[in-house]
Structure 1
Amino acid sequence: MKHTRERAVRKRSRGLVALVATTALIGSALAVGAATGPAFAVTTGNGALVYAPPNGSSFNDEGGDATGTAYAKIVALKYSGASNGTLISTFDDARLIKDVSPSTNPTTDTQACLANPALACHQEWPFFRSTDNGATWQKISSINPGLQFPGTPGQEDSTQLDRTAQPFLYELPQAVGTLAAGTLLFTGQVRPADRDNPASVTKLVVYKSTNQGTSWSYLSTVDTGGPAIYDPSPTSTTTTVWEPTLAVDANGGLVTYFSDERQKANGVLQAVSYRRSTDGGLTWGTLANVSAPTDSTHRPGMITVDKLPDGTYIATYEVVNATGYAFSNASPVFFKKSVDGLNWGTTSSLGTPVELADGRGIGSSPTVKWVPAGGPKGMVVVASKWGLDAAGNLDGGQNFFVNYNLGAGPWERLPFAVTFNGPSSITGFAQGIDYSPDGRTLYQATNVENYRPNPSNPSETYLYNDIRVGTVPLNATTYEAEKAALVNTTLVTHGDASNGSKVGNINFSNSTVTFTVKAPTAGSYTVNVRYANGTGATSSHAVSVNGGTATSLSYPPTADWGRYLWAQLTTTLNAGNNTIRFGYSGTYAELDQIQVYQSSTTPAPEFQIKNRNSGKLLEIASAAVTDGAPAGQWGPTANPTQIWQVLPAASGTHQLVNKNSLKLLEIPGAATADGIDAAQWGPTGNATQRWTLTPDSSGFWTIKNANSDKLLEIDSCLTTDGAVAQQWGPTGAACQQWQLVKEGIQ
């Protein structure tokens, strides 16, 4: 799906808004201010403001809403020496800039440029920098492609390629050709102002920066296509190239992936394709496809690719015209895997949809990123514009979808830092995500709706889109409100709530939600609180810790009761179990979850470990805390004895630490025979307390003892509560396969 900013596509965007409005999915706008407080706190306030379009800067000359921005991208530098940790952001800027004199003293004059095509006007890609973890931003540079493709001076015609679209930002993780590691690369689409002219063109161009985005130089043109006309119908004849992104393949080549409409003679309405460079992006090789269905219907597009820790690659993309979805333009997100970033299996295949275990999915303009935190193999994170229910209807969209098994098996939710009304026009389109060099923070860059009065007629409002960046603490331990101790409240099912539920009706003098939080050490902790407040005014709860004096926690209003924001408090916790109680204090808000963390520490990730054969959870029987207590399986009890900390250990192995007892899973006596029952014990340093976790292609793991080389299984593949866990040589049985589950475990 395309969201570009010229006349023809604006008309389509309004059509999408009208269609979604008929399904009652559009909520009211949310006005928020820039984040305040310490740099790590930009989860609150719906993130930090990077850029707000000036009034009139993205005027829509067809009477619809203005747009302002889209395609927010972000890079957290990791290969740039002393600059590591610096954040660089760019986006698609709808402003038209009139040159007072060529290339000097540009002024924003969008309305004048639209009214008079003969004016010398252009668009630019701006770049912003943050050196305080995203709290504040400064513009540092811009790219004006009209300087490389100038056409006829002073006249906008088909040879002047000075309209910009679909930016992508990438930091080279290694040297490629003459480009050093840490070089910033930028790619995007350029086209002329008269984009509807059949003789018009689109070009995919690449720029480089060797000074962390302070200045840019043109590198090359990857490919050229026909006019930038969006027509997804099976009878379309368009030949556009769209949406370039970058990655380095397993053989050290630079690859530009993009959407290609030039293969219609083969029944391919649109393909996601690539060209490869072996000389650092100076020249580009032959065209190849990732996915190119030959049914003249399915239309994959908006591809992004990232490398996984096992050396393989994952690509995500939307599929317009996907069959089997209740909403005709659901644009569900699919993915494919590759051994090297070049070979993607059968190219006519669409791949696999990104879905939760219950069939809920996401749609439109996805971005994929692997991050090293979250699990024994890190996690794959996908951001998209909207959510889809199991039938394929548009349904919210306020969560990343994450996978802890390199893309195999069911996905889970991870709440956005910054939320938006996804079905609204261009809002939330083609987000950017990256992680900090220390792996503790996930950054989300996106465009967020901002309704403002029309300066010429204050009774009218236009939809602009601000660029905002928020952070998700990847080192936090999450506790769900529905798992807390509840008094006089109501559970509310909601697809955008973490784990699918939240707690509402905290409306009475005795209404309380009490979380039991286990802290590894005593000290000061940050608590992020995900809430909904549709009252239209600020609400609050009384919050007490370990029975102490309650303090007030404020909740600024959310757009409606289906929209979430974050509040934050800092508190002192004891080592071990603590209680954090939220109580009614005269106003109304709903609670979804809390995240508890210390900014300078990274605790081991926590999971339930579910047996594939029985569907039951690995636990220490009777929640025992003594050495030698046996391990077995049981149905879910909500006891922390069914939660395991997966702690990295020597030689790529892990220790499995029971959250209730803080003792390690082991094979007693370092025995190597088949049939030895597993148990817990305090740390001994013996290899029998270490395990190798190996994912498979179906979303399950084998858990092999590092001492015996035998697999953890349930004795005799029993399915009953209380059946013991033991070790045995590999049999291929389902009782030797396990699933790691994080969402909603506590």
Structure 2
Amino acid sequence: MAITGSGAASRGAGARSRTRRRVATIVMAVAAAALALGGVVHSASPAVAATTSSGVLYAPSTASGSTEDASYPRAIRLQHSGSANGTLLATFAHSGTGVTKANFPIYRSTNNGVTWTPSPIGTVTDTQHGWDMDGPTLYELPQAEGNLPAGTLLAAGTAWNHGDYTQQAVEVYVSTNQGVTWSYRSSCASESGTANTTGHGIWEPEFDVAGNGDLLCFFSDERPSSNNYNQVIAHVASTDGGLTWGSEVYDVAVQNNVERPGMATVVNLPNGTYAMSYEDCKNGYDPDQACDDYIKTTSNAESWNPSSLGTRMQTSDSRFLLHTPYLAWSPAGGTNGTLIASGQRVVAGTDGSLTVEAESGHVLFTNTNLGVGAWKEVTTAVTTDPTGGYDGSETSCAGYSSPLLGATSGTSYLMLAGTHVSTGKCETQFATATLPTANGPITGPGTTGKCVDVNTNTSVAGNAVQLYTCGTAEGQQWALESDGTVRAYDKCLDIVGNGTADSTKVELWGCDGAGGQQWTARSDGSLYNPQSGRCLDDPQAITTDGTQLQIYDCNGLSTQVWHVPTTS
């Protein structure tokens, strides 16, 4: 099997053409299922995960000349708020035409993200200076902090006047009525009287509570650039509920004026440790040729071994996420649960010479080993097409920092994302979906030990599904979805032309709801297609690499015995 576009890539990534992270969002274009008639060739369509609901949280004006934007979304589930527990809140950075100053509107869902309030229940604005607010985060206190009770909501973002770099603050606001009203608490980082130039900003806040009870405010900090750090991820701690903050502590910091870590998200893991995802851009690189996404873990949320970059989030064949990661945890997938990560693109290669993979904007990454080892691709709930980029006329907000929120039990999750609109800005979309029931190689037939494989190891509709020697290719990882499909990358195991006749070949195709994409793993080892009444079959028991598989009358022979994954 020819593996294209893969290979080990060095750590690090390229610096953005701009120095701040204001835009954000990942996308969700949920494709409508197109039913195909038997024997009729169906057209390719974008795939989405086993999606249970979807919609647009907010759509900006697309009138000529409008600059209105709704991107960089965030979402939380209330778990420490008494009778309001289970309520979801979402926001995004709202700016541009018709918006006096950029702000964070708050929306509410009381049915696990299936529907949302048609208008904001509250809005976070800068009440201290009247500045714009960018890069939101939301957090619910899991315990009392200072005079703030458990269940108090925190919202934060970078407050500044757009284009004026002389003064900025990461302002913290609190709400004690589930997001309806907000009051200023403090600024966990600030600067004033600085030069009106880029290169010393403070961006992208994130909250967590340490094991000792300290409230932590993480952020990206360009100010150490004067000391040969291009940018660092740092935090400050508070022991009085965010009224005051201690000294800045570096969490990811490389003193070479090249590495540019930023956009941290922090997740509490079930074994009591903490995981941080972030991008590591590189000063001087084309931003579309760098900014690899990393993960690092620690047992102490206030000590992250700052000189270590951790490990890049990548598949077994060295595909990795590029730009603006977001990390979440789901209880699905066993004792360790499942880490789910979003990013703007999937790439392979080395910094400065990256290949953008076809599944970019169509997949998420998952890991069931607390972030250690290889990650797997699964179809996303929200498709971002086109993906965000930073060259020329590309829209950066599409797929920029798309939040994920796992359910408290089961396999469902919520995703929000910014998606491209005609003005070059973004709207915020949402979707709920389920993670695969299992994910891994399908081996066979019988005891041959070969793998069911996607020809060329690329997510291109029409690629043959074949037998091949088992290896590290992502095209040998198959997700069994709750909707009856079997998927590699973002596409489905499909019967060519939606056919039903003996010897009809199988291929990779966009998931479109066709009967030729439904499969049942049966106790006799067969993979059965109900529409045709036939089974996945190795033609004439040929096991040569590259043998394209087919459907055939179910006959109980070893040529129809497949070993499917049972875990994620």
TM-score by length of 2: 0.70
Higher relative contact order (CA 8 A, sep 6+): 2
Is 2:229 aligned against 1:268? Answer: yes
The DSSP-based 3-state class of the residue aligned with 1:437 is: coil
Deviations 1:670-701 (A, max 9, x none): xxxxxxxxxxxxxxxxxxxxxxxxxxxxxxxx
Residue type matched to 1:393 in 2?
T
Question: What letter is aligned with 2:302?
Answer: L
- Aligned residue in 2 for 1:220: 186
SS in 2 for 1:265: helix
Which of 158, 162, 180 is equivalent to 2:149?
A: 180
The 1:185/1:567 distance shift into structure 2, 3 A limit, reads farther
Quote how far apart the aligned CAs of 1:397 are: 4.0
Which structure 2 residues correspond to residues 163-178 of structure 1 after superposition, within 5 A?
163-178=132-147
Aligned residues of 1:122 and 1:144 also touching (Cα < 8 A): no
Q: Deviations over 1:403-452 (max 9, x none)?
A: 2221222222222111102244220001111111224311111111233x
2:278 aligned partner:
317
Task: Encode CA deviations 1:101-131: one digit per residue, 9 max, x unaligned.
Answer: xxxxxxxx36xxxxxxxxxx32221111222
With over 3 angstroms needed to count, the CA separation of the structure-2 counterparts of 1:142 and 1:333, relative to structure 1, is same
Structure 2 residue identity aligned to 1:357: S
Contact kept? 1:380, 1:404, Cα under 8 Å: yes
Q: Distance in 2 between matches of 1:227 and 1:466?
A: 35
Counterpart of 2:421 (choices 433, 439, 450) is 450
Q: Which residue in 1 is equivalent to 2:405? A: 434
Q: Secondary structure at the match of 2:181?
A: coil
The equivalent residue for 1:134 is 113
Q: Give runs of aligned pairs for residues 493-572 of structure 1, distance below 5 A.
A: 493-495=456-458, 497=459, 504=463, 526-527=483-484, 541=498, 567=513
> Aligned to 2:291, what secondary structure does the other structure show?
coil
Query: 1:149 corresponds to which residue?
Result: 129
Residue equivalent to 1:419: 383
Give 1:541 shift: 4.4
Give the structure 1 partner of residue 339 of structure 2: 380
Q: SS of the counterpart of 2:484? A: strand
Cα displacement string for residues 17-41 of structure 1 (whole angstroms, at most 9, x for unaligned residues): xxxxxxxxxxxx9976899xxxxx9
User: Compared with structure 1, are the counterparts of its residues 543 and 476 closer, same or farther at alpha carbon in structure 2 (3 Å cutoff)?
Assistant: farther
Question: Is it true that 1:471 corresponds to 2:432 in the alignment?
Answer: yes
Residues 1:576 and 1:125: Cα distance change in structure 2 (over 3 Å): same
What SS is found at the alignment partner of 2:349? coil
One-letter code aligned to 1:126? P
Q: Secondary structure at the match of 1:82?
A: helix
Query: In the aligned structure 2, how far is the partner of 1:503 from the partner of 1:74?
Result: 37
1:228–1:450: structure 2 CA closer, same or farther, 3 Å change rule? farther
Q: Is contact 2:264-2:279 (8 Å) kept?
A: yes
Q: Distance in 1 between matches of 2:178 and 2:461?
A: 42
Output the CA distance in 1 between the equivalents of 2:498 and 2:149: 52
* Conserved 8 A contact 2:365-2:375: yes
Name the CA distance, whole Å, in 2 between partners of 1:341 and 1:473: 30
1:581 pairs with 2:529: yes
**Secondary structure at the counterpart of residue 226 of structure 2:** helix
> What is the aligned partner in structure 2 of residue 253 from structure 1?
214
* 2:197 paired with 1:244: no
Q: Secondary structure at the match of 2:279?
A: strand
**For residues 455 and 512 of structure 2, what CA distance do their matches in structure 1 show?**
18
How far, CA to CA, are the matches of 2:195 and 2:410 in structure 1? 41
Maintained 8 Å contact 1:518/1:576? no
Amino acid at match of 1:380: L
Measured in 2, the distance between the counterparts of 1:562 and 1:326 equals 33
Report the alpha carbon displacement of residue 490 of structure 1 after superposing the two structures with TM. Answer: 10
SS of aligned partner of 1:264: helix
Please name the residue that 2:89 is paired with: 88
1:68 maps onto 2:69 in alignment: yes
Aligned to 2:59: 52
Distance verdict in 2 for CA 1:490–1:210, change over 3 Å: same
Aligned residues between the structures? 470
**SS at the partner of 1:463?**
coil
Q: How does 1:599-614 map to 2 (within 5 A)?
A: none
Equivalent residue for 2:10?
Answer: none
Distance 2:441 2:518 in 1: 19
User: How far apart in 2 are the matches of 1:450 and 1:484?
Assistant: 47
Q: Which of 323, 332, 350 is 2:292 aligned to? A: 332
* Offset of residue 238 of structure 1: 2.2
The one-character-per-residue Cα deviations of 1:111-164 (angstroms, maximum 9, x if unpaired) are: xxxxxxxxxx322211112223322221333435343324xxxxxxxxxx2x12
Structure 2, unaligned stretches of length 5 or more? 1-14, 34-47, 390-394, 447-451, 466-477, 533-559
Q: Quick one: percent identity of the two aligned structures?
A: 28
Q: Distance in 1 between matches of 2:53 and 2:486?
A: 13
Distance in 2, matches of 1:562 and 1:227, equals: 58
Whole-angstrom distance in 2 between the partners of 1:364 and 1:172: 28
Q: 1:543 to 1:92 in 2, by over 3 A?
A: farther
1:528 deviates by 5.5
Counterpart-to-counterpart distance in 1, 2:264 and 2:480? 41
Alignment-derived partner of residue 353 in structure 1: 312
**CA deviation map 1:496-550 (0-9, x unaligned):** x4xxx876479xxxxxxxxx9999xxxxx7436769999xxxx994799xx9xxx
**Per-residue deviation at 1:247?**
1.0
- Paired with 2:171 and 2:378, the residues of 1 have a C-alpha distance of 34
Larger radius of gyration, structure 1 or 2?
Answer: 1
Counterpart CA distance in 2 for 1:240 and 1:298 is 16
- 8 A contact 1:3–1:9 mirrored in 2: no
Q: How many angstroms apart in 1 are the aligned matches of 2:329 and 2:490?
A: 32
- Which residue of the partner structure matches residue 191 of structure 1? 160
Structure 1 residues 326 and 54: alpha-carbon distance in aligned structure 2, compared to 1, 3 A threshold: closer
Counterpart code for 1:59: S
Structure 2 counterpart of 1:589: none
Matched position secondary structure for 1:136: coil
> Is this contact kept in 2: 1:226–1:241, CA < 8 A?
no
* CA distance, structure 2, for counterparts of residue 254 and residue 57 of structure 1: 45
Q: Which amino acid counterpart does residue 276 of structure 1 have in structure 2?
A: A
CA–CA distance in structure 1, aligned partners of residues 103 and 32 of structure 2: 24
Partner of 1:457: none
State how far apart, in whole Å, the 2-side matches of 1:228 and 1:55 are: 36
C-alpha distance in structure 2 between counterparts of 1:202 and 1:562, whole Å:
50
**Separation in 2, partners of 1:376, 1:77:** 23
TM-score computed with the length of structure 1 as normaliser: 0.55
Q: CA deviation at 1:45?
A: 9.3
Could you say what the CA RMSD is over the residues aligned between the two structures, in angstroms?
4.5
Residue equivalent to 1:300? 261
For 1:633-652, list aligned pairs within 5 A: 639-640=562-563
State the shift of 1:466 in Å. Answer: 1.9
Counterparts of 1:479 and 1:338 in 2: how far apart (Å)? Answer: 28
Residue by residue over 1:155-194, the C-alpha shift from the partner in whole angstroms, topping out at 9 and shown as x without a partner, is xxxxxx2x1210111222333333333322211111124x
In structure 1, the residue corresponding to 2:266 is in which secondary structure? strand
Preserved CA contact (<8 Å) 2:331 2:408: no
SS of the equivalent of 1:47 reads: strand
What SS does the corresponding residue of 1:215 show, helix, strand or coil?
A: coil
Whole-Å Cα distance in 1 between the matches of residues 78 and 508 of structure 2? 35
Give the letter aligned to residue 422 of structure 1.
T
Partner of 1:368 in structure 2?
327
Question: Are residues 389 and 140 of structure 1, via their aligned partners in 2, closer, same or farther at CA, if it must alter by over 3 Å?
Answer: same
Is the alpha carbon distance of 1:477 and 1:42 closer, same or farther for their aligned partners in structure 2, counting shifts above 3 Å? Answer: closer
Distance between the aligned counterparts of 1:318 and 1:172, measured in 2? 26
Spell out the pairing of 1:666-685 with structure 2 (5 A cutoff): none
Deviation (angstroms), 1:211: 2.5
Give the unaligned 5+ runs of structure 1: 14-28, 36-40, 61-66, 97-108, 111-120, 151-160, 232-236, 452-461, 507-515, 520-524, 548-560, 585-636, 646-741
